Structure 1
């Protein structure tokens, strides 16, 4: 049987709604409407009548059972729960979702959570359902929460409770369900179906907690005492089935997913090098790749402390173990430059140093440099230069001698045009790098770093001792030259840019 899509007494029309509106819409419409028709605010001669009509409509539509009877029968609803004189041919309450007649209706409330970055809003999907419609509504409420409930801190706390509640069948208010089952039983009793009426009375007994409800259940069971228990309905509201599994599996996977993200974030397998703690000695094997764990490691000609030093290695330099010695305290290595020598075993750490250096650079990033800040300066002078960075990424510019020694370096933010000074006499190559998240500890950008070198040199010198320098003669360079500019930068490896003297 389908729910009658009629509004014979105009209850929905009074509120400005269509039949089938949810409880939230009914409450909101009532609050808005009562402000305009209340006799204290409305001087119209019809205000009192309209106000009484509004109160009558809201009294019916706000009540779960009375509204269900009104929607189902399209007739005057029963106002008195104690009225047992149900007329013959009475129509049982139908499912508010699909409109079909069900012998086991339930009033169920499912919860939803929607997050809005800094706050979360809870909602309700509710109604008198048959079991099939209840399952579909539960899945709908859970999907809404899965998609929208996690994007705020309150949502992270509320969403799991809403999902668990929906998983276990939502909430079934005792008072409303007792009244529904009692009225459903009376309707079947009026139609002469004693077995169904008695079965509904037994189901109502599990919800009836108030003395009045228990008395009505006793009246219904007494009226159907001749039916016995020959047709007791098997409850269709037990947990289980495909819908339960569909909601349970994502919830079961949630702790596993959180554990995976925690492992990725903490990286317990990837312990960084401690720059201050004691480095444990570990045996090494020929052919292993290791990296330097201390700053300024001395590579010696022989495995003794007094041996001549061949070269110095920076922390995180990757080396290859090429041989062992008579003592485990020393090991023979080959540096990236091809130098063979001996170092202390305790100064090496397993694996390539690239990954550990990246993490160290991020941890020692320091504060954001200011526009035009001098990052390093070895020699000072009286010359000036204009630097244009019209790109979308910040830049670092280095002035290097032809021998490769850095004289000064400057920080130029994206879209800035900055004049820098203190440049000494000389001829310089211009190297630069662009990127984001500059690390002071390593002198590199952590994200999107690219390096380049201008194919020209700049020479700064005085023409005569008394020459007055004009602002129009200041040298200019651009980190993002126009496509038609003959001076286009050449690509430079990031490692070469970062390797400073």
Structure 2
């Protein structure tokens, strides 16, 4: 195919005939960006965009150019050419003769060989198509890269974004702390001859760090002891989590520097200086760019007063935290003692006997308290002294009212008898003051006879 025949398409893209594929592509992108209907409000922009698209596809070989009109003769001998070589109609282009341009109303750049025009999209359809393309691009961007091996170990980082004021919040509790830390915890998974160590990194407050450490330890307990090679790494990870994890110096310095800037912007410069002192502890004698920025900010905030430090809440794990981390071990030891050790007989034999004996004693005490299997008596005097001994010289415990129900608790001693009240009091009363029967029933009968209130 000659270059002369494709000259109109080169002119449409504003490039010289015989341009390379790269030049064609660059020219097309530039014109497509200019005449795209979504960006250009010109009424003819859509036709121009179709024309340059057609020229681009023909020049790179994706589409065949339209056939020449006539019987295959050259352009100088075709009908429509004048004797002096000036063309009035060609086999392609805007002046192409034939049925393909018979009903043409709008004229673009070329027009020859154009496919049937599609109906214009509405604004809603364009927006929906653009949103769909955006979602597909986002899904493609966030998809897992194919050059990463599926079994490769990665750091699992729980990201914490600054809030609207620029403060970094705890990834677990969501609080803003004056002494946050970037902490790493280990989780070990093992099976047979293989194991995997996962590092969990997050910006945490002291309380959130304890929760995440406990969570990482329990994951290791559940998954880390299923392989003989993972036994020692699992114990090492649990002990490391018990001690509070590890603190990467560079990550902590950067995070504390960000937190200090947030406190400074909020107007709390003393607290910003205190946070910068913590950042300097991680930097030490380092001379990196970040270290110089921290030192420069510290000098800028210096007001001549001694910088104060906040109370350090990042201490090693206490005894209670250590017991929580090791609680699965204690449970396993207790289960082993029950199943195989000396505790087996204690659980299966001694404990049931103790429970049965204590239950019998409690049942007897309850029956004694409610008067089961004991004959009730009631007091038939207005006032009756309950004494702690069988004589008038003994101390009076209290005075019993008429119709109060009591129970005989011992043998009679002359005119005295040992009784027990309904509330558990024990003492001695005169034998002739007691009448067999329930006191409440006797009171009801007396009231009915004497018409009492």
Larger Rg: 2
Alignment TM-score > 0.5, same fold: no
Instruction: State the TM-score, normalized to the length of structure 1.
Output: 0.34
Give the helix-richer structure, 1 or 2: 2
Give the strand-richer structure, 1 or 2: 1
Instruction: State the TM-score, normalized to the length of structure 2.
Output: 0.38
